C-alpha cells in the first residue's frame, strides 16, 4: 500500500479534478510497468495515463485504471464501493510528490 495523507498533497490541489489527476498521475508513476490479467491470455497496464489533443484544440488527460476490488463487496452494502478497493502495489511515494 502506498500511503498518502490528504495534508501531504500539494496545496494547489483544491478541486476534485486536480485531486483525481494528481492521484492518477502518481499511481501511474509508481506502477509504470505493472500489468494485470483482466481476461485469460491478455494483460493490460494497471494504470495508464496519456495526454491527447482533442478536436476542439484542448489537451486532455485520459486515464484507464484497473483496481482490484475485494470480492466480498457485494455481501456488505453498508460500505461504499470505494472502501472495497484493494492496494495496487506497495511502493514508496517519492518526496517530491508530497507536500512537506
Q: pLDDT per residue over 16-60, tens digit each? A: 999 999 999 999 999 999 999 999 999 999 999 999 999 999 999
Q: Nearest 5 degrees, angle CA 36-CA 38-CA 42? A: 80
Convert the pLDDT of each residue in 63-86 to its tens digit: 999 999 999 999 988 999 999 999
Residue 68 lies in a domain: yes
Residue 1 lies in a domain: no
pTM of structure:
0.84
Q: Give the strand pairing for 42-45 and 47-53.
A: unpaired
Residue 21 lies in a domain: yes
Residue 95 lies in a domain: no
Residue 97 lies in a domain: no
Number of domains in the chain: 1
Residue 63 lies in a domain: yes
DSSP reduced 3-state for 63 = strand
How is residue 2 written as a grid cell? 502506498
Return the number of other C-beta atoms located less than 10 Å from residue 49's C-beta.
Answer: 17
Residue 29 lies in a domain: yes
Which residue range forms the structural domain that includes residue 39?
A: 6-90
Amino acid at each position: 500500500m502506498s500511503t498518502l495523507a490528504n495534508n501531504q498533497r500539494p496545496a494547489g490541489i483544491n478541486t476534485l479534478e486536480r485531486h483525481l489527476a494528481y492521484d492518477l498521475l502518481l499511481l501511474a508513476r509508481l506502477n509504470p510497468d505493472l500489468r494485470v490479467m483482466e481476461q485469460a491470455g491478455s494483460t493490460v497496464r494497471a494504470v495508464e495515463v496519456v495526454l491527447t489533443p482533442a478536436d476542439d484544440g484542448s489537451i486532455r488527460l485520459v486515464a484507464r485504471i484497473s483496481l482490484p476490488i475485494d470480492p466480498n463487496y457485494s455481501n456488505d452494502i453498508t460500505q461504499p464501493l470505494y472502501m472495497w478497493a484493494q492496494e495496487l502495489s506497495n511502493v514508496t511515494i517519492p518526496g517530491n510528490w508530497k507536500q512537506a
